[in-house]
Amino acid sequence: MQLPLPLPAQVPLSWYLILSVILFVTGAAGFLLRRNIITVFMCIELMLNAVNLTFIAFSHQLKQVDGNLFAFFVMVVAAAEAAVGLAIILTVFKNRSTLEVDEVSSMKL
Amino acid sequence: MSDPGLTAQLEPVETAPGSTRKMVLNMGPQHPSTHGVLRILLELDGEIITKAQPDIGFLHTGIEKQAEALGWQQVVTLTDRMDYLANLSNNLAYVLPVERLLGLEIPAKAQWLRVLLCELSRINSHAVWLGTHALDLGAMTVFFYCFREREDILRLFEMFSGQRLMTSYIRIGGVALEPPRGWHAAISKFASGLSDKIDEYEDLLTKNPIFLQRTQGVGHLSLERLLDLGVTGPMIRAAGLAWDIRKSEPYSSYEKFDFDIPTCTESDVFSRFRVRVDEMRQSLRIVNQALEGMPEGPWKADAPKVVLPDREKMKTQMEALIYHFKIVTEGFRVPAGDAYVPVESPRGEIGFFVASDGTSKPLRVFMRTPSFGNLQSLTPLFEGRLIADSIASLGSMDFVLGDVDR
Amino acid sequence: MDFYLITLVKMALTAIVLLTCCAYAVWVERKVLAHIQLRPGPYFVGPHGLLQPLADLIKLLTKEGIVPSHVNPFFYLIAPFLAVTLGLTSIVVIPFTPPFEVLGHQVALGLTDLNIGVLFILAISGLGVYGIAIGGWASNNKYSLMGSLRSSAQMVSYELPLALAIAAPLLSINSLNFRQIVNAQEGFAFGIIPHWSIFAGPVPQILSFLIFITAAFAETNRVPFDLPEAESELVAGFHTEYSSMMFASFFMAEYANIITICCVATALFLGGWHPLWPSAYGSDLVPVVLLAGAGLMLLFHAVHAARRRTWDRFSFPVFGLLFLGLAPLFLIPVLKPVLIPFFWFVAKAGFLVFVFIWIRGTLPRFRYDQLMRFAWTFLFPLAVANLLVTGLVVALTGN
Amino acid sequence: MDALLFLVFAAIAVGCAINLVLQTHPISSALSLVGVMGSLAVLYLLLGGEFLAAVQLIVYAGAIMVLFTFVIMLLNAGAEKKPSRKVLSTAVALPLLFTLAGIGAYFAATQTPSADVVKFGAFTAGPLEIGRALFTRYLLPFEVTSVLILIAILGAIVLARKEI
Amino acid sequence: MLADNLKEMPVPAAIEAWDPDAILHSSFEHGETTLWISPDKILPLCAHLKASLQFNRLSGLTAIDLYPQEPRFEVVYLLHSIPANQRLKLKVALPGDNPALPSVTSVWAGADWYEREAFDLFGVTFTGHPDLRRIMLPDYWEGHPLRRDFPTHGHKYSYKDE
**DSSP per-residue string spanning C121-132:** HHHHHHHTHHHH
pLDDT tier, B216 (very low <50, low <70, confident <90, very high otherwise): confident
Instruction: Examine residue B377 and state whether it is found in any structural domain, yes or no.
Output: yes
Give CA angle at B111 (B107, B116), nearest 5°.
Answer: 145
Q: Is the pLDDT of residue B6 over 70?
A: no
Q: Best of B60, B245, B371, B379 to disrupt the E interface by mutation (most E CBs within 10 Å)? A: B60
Report the complex ipTM.
0.77
Q: Is E146 on the interface with B (CB under 8 A)?
A: yes
Which range of residues forms the domain containing residue E79? 4-127
Shortest Cα–Cα distance, E11 to chain B (Å): 18
C105-107 and E23-29 strand pairing: unpaired
List of chain B residues whose C-beta atoms are within 8 Å of the C-beta of residue E78: 340, 351, 353, 368
Residue D124's identity, in one-letter code, is T
- d(Cα C251, Cα C246) in Å, to the nearest integer? 9
- Are residues B287 and B177 both part of a single domain? yes
Q: Is the pLDDT of residue A71 over 60?
A: yes
- d(Cα B344, Cα B92) in Å, to the nearest integer? 10
Q: Which residues contact E34 (CB under 8 A, 6 or more apart)?
A: B338, E26, E27, E28, E89, E90, E91
Shortest Cα–Cα distance, C290 to chain D (Å): 41
Residue E46's identity, in one-letter code, is C
- The fold of D2-109+123-160 is Four Helix Bundle (Hemerythrin (Met), subunit A) (1.20.120)
> Distances in Å between the alpha carbon of B56 and those of B41, B42, B195, D146?
11, 14, 37, 56
Q: Is the pLDDT of residue B130 over 80?
A: yes
Q: Is the pLDDT of residue B12 over 50?
A: no
Mean pLDDT of the E79-92 span: 87
Shortest Cα–Cα distance, C42 to chain B (Å): 16
Coil, strand or helix at E81: strand
Shortest Cα–Cα distance, B128 to chain E (Å): 26
CATH assignment of the domain containing B392: 1.10.645.10
Q: Best of C7, C78, C132, C134 to disrupt the D interface by mutation (most D CBs within 10 Å)? A: C134
Q: Give the number of other CB atoms < 10 A from CB of residue B370.
A: 33
Q: Quote the percentage of chain E above a pLDDT of 70.
A: 93
Longest dimension (CA), chain E: 62
List of chain D residues whose C-beta atoms are within 8 Å of the C-beta of residue A96: none
pLDDT tier, B299 (very low <50, low <70, confident <90, very high otherwise): confident
**For B167-271, where are the E strands, in sequence order?**
170-171, 174-175
Instruction: Examine residue E146 and state whether it is found in any structural domain, yes or no.
Output: no
- What total of structural domains would you count in chain E? 1
pLDDT in tens, E106-140: 888 888 888 888 888 888 888 888 888 888 888 77
Instruction: Examine residue E38 and state whether it is found in any structural domain, yes or no.
Output: yes
Coil, strand or helix at B184: helix
Of B31, B138, B144, the CB nearest to C230: B138
In angstroms, how far is CA E114 from the centroid of its own chain?
9
The dihedral sign for the CA sequence B300, B165, B406, E46: positive
Shortest Cα–Cα distance, B20 to chain A (Å): 6
Question: What is the reported pLDDT for D147?
Answer: 92
- Are residues B34 and B84 both part of a single domain? no
- d(Cα B229, Cα E32) in Å, to the nearest integer? 24
Shortest Cα–Cα distance, E40 to chain B (Å): 23
CB atoms D118 and A7 under 8 Å: no
Question: Per the confidence metrics, is the pTM higher than 0.90?
Answer: no
Q: Is C126 on the interface with B (CB under 8 A)?
A: no
- Are residues B365 and B281 both part of a single domain? yes
Question: What is the reported pLDDT for E156?
Answer: 58
CB atoms B228 and E109 under 8 Å: yes
Residuewise pLDDT in 10s, chain D (164 residues): 677 888 888 899 989 988 888 888 888 888 899 889 989 998 888 888 888 888 888 888 888 888 888 888 877 766 666 655 567 777 887 888 888 888 888 887 777 776 677 777 777 778 888 888 888 888 998 899 889 989 988 888 887 776 54
Of B33, B141, B214, the CB nearest to C37: B141
Of A36, A65, A88, the CB nearest to D80: A36
The closest of B88, B329, D24, C2 to A100, measured between CA atoms, is: D24
CB atoms B1 and E146 under 8 Å: no
- d(Cα C146, Cα B47) in Å, to the nearest integer? 9
CATH assignment of the domain containing E26: 3.30.460.80
List of chain A residues whose C-beta atoms are within 8 Å of the C-beta of residue B45: none
Question: What is the reported pLDDT for C37?
Answer: 84
The residues with which E81 forms a beta bridge, in sequence order, are E86
Which range of residues forms the domain containing residue B33? 4-55
- Are residues B102 and B13 both part of a single domain? no
Question: What is the reported pLDDT for B15?
Answer: 41
Instruction: Give the residue from chain D lying closest to C176, CA to CA.
Output: D127
Chain A residues with CB under 8 Å of a chain B CB are 94-97, 109
**DSSP per-residue string spanning C222-280:** -TTS-GGG-HHHHTTGGGTT--HHHHHHHHHHHHHHHHHHHHHHHHHHS-TT--SS-GG
- d(Cα C356, Cα C216) in Å, to the nearest integer? 10
Q: Is the pLDDT of residue E162 over 70?
A: no
Q: Are E59 and B368 in contact (CB under 8 A)?
A: yes
Q: Quote the percentage of chain C above a pLDDT of 90.
A: 1
- d(Cα E117, Cα E107) in Å, to the nearest integer? 18
CB atoms B138 and C365 under 8 Å: yes
pLDDT tier, B49 (very low <50, low <70, confident <90, very high otherwise): confident
Longest dimension (CA), chain A: 65
Q: Is C233 on the interface with B (CB under 8 A)?
A: yes
- d(Cα B397, Cα C7) in Å, to the nearest integer? 59
List of chain B residues whose C-beta atoms are within 8 Å of the C-beta of residue E135: 1, 56-57
Instruction: Examine residue C92 and state whether it is found in any structural domain, yes or no.
Output: yes
Shortest Cα–Cα distance, B25 to chain C (Å): 7
Q: Are E117 and E92 in contact (CB under 8 A)?
A: no
The residues with which B386 forms a beta bridge, in sequence order, are B48
Q: Are B267 and B221 in contact (CB under 8 A)?
A: yes
DSSP state of C374: I
Question: What is the reported pLDDT for E158?
Answer: 46
Instruction: Examine residue B349 and state whether it is found in any structural domain, yes or no.
Output: yes
Q: Are A41 and D33 in contact (CB under 8 A)?
A: no
Shortest Cα–Cα distance, C2 to chain D (Å): 14
3-state secondary structure chain D: CHHHHHHHHHHHHHHHHHHHHHCCCHHHHHHHHHHHHHHHHHHHHHCCCHHHHHHHHHHHHHHHHHHHHHHHHHHCCCCCCCCCCCHHHHHHHHHHHHHHHHHHHHHHHHHCCCCCEECCCCCCCCHHHHHHHHHCCCHHHHHHHHHHHHHHHHHHHHHHCCCC
CB atoms B230 and E140 under 8 Å: no
CB atoms D57 and C126 under 8 Å: yes
Domains located in chain A, CATH noted: 13-103 (1.10.287.3510)
- Are residues B193 and B268 both part of a single domain? yes
CB atoms A94 and B15 under 8 Å: no
State yes or no: chains E and A have 3 or more CB pairs below 8 A: no
List of chain C residues whose C-beta atoms are within 8 Å of the C-beta of residue B47: 146, 368-369
pLDDT in tens, C340-378: 888 888 889 999 999 988 888 888 888 777 888 888 888
Which range of residues forms the domain containing residue C246? 63-272+366-397
- What total of structural domains would you count in chain B? 2
CB pairs < 8 Å spanning B and C: 76
Of D17, D105, D149, the CB nearest to A18: D105
Of E29, E34, E113, the CB nearest to B372: E113
The dihedral sign for the CA sequence C215, C221, C227, C230: negative
Shortest Cα–Cα distance, B386 to chain A (Å): 21
The dihedral sign for the CA sequence D96, D100, D106, D107: positive
CB atoms E139 and B3 under 8 Å: yes
Of D17, D59, D85, the CB nearest to A23: D17
pLDDT in tens, B370-403: 888 888 888 888 888 887 788 888 888 888 888 8
- Are residues B44 and B80 both part of a single domain? no
- d(Cα D25, Cα B138) in Å, to the nearest integer? 37
List of chain E residues whose C-beta atoms are within 8 Å of the C-beta of residue B225: 109
CB atoms A96 and B20 under 8 Å: no
pLDDT in tens, E16-39: 788 878 788 888 888 888 888 888
- d(Cα C146, Cα C140) in Å, to the nearest integer? 10
Question: What is the reported pLDDT for B5?
Answer: 43
Q: Is the pLDDT of residue B1 over 60?
A: no
Instruction: Give the residue from chain B lying closest to C147, CA to CA.
Output: B47
Shortest Cα–Cα distance, D148 to chain C (Å): 19
Instruction: Examine residue E82 and state whether it is found in any structural domain, yes or no.
Output: yes
- Are residues B217 and B285 both part of a single domain? yes
Q: Are E121 and E144 in contact (CB under 8 A)?
A: yes
CB pairs < 8 Å spanning C and D: 73
Backbone angles phi, psi at E78, to 5 degrees: -100, 105
CB pairs < 8 Å spanning B and E: 106
Q: Is D10 on the interface with C (CB under 8 A)?
A: no
The closest of B39, B3, B7, B4 to B23, measured between CA atoms, is: B7
Q: Best of D32, D60, D76 to disrupt the A interface by mutation (most A CBs within 10 Å)? A: D60
- d(Cα A22, Cα A67) in Å, to the nearest integer? 20
Q: Quote the percentage of chain A above a pLDDT of 70.
A: 88
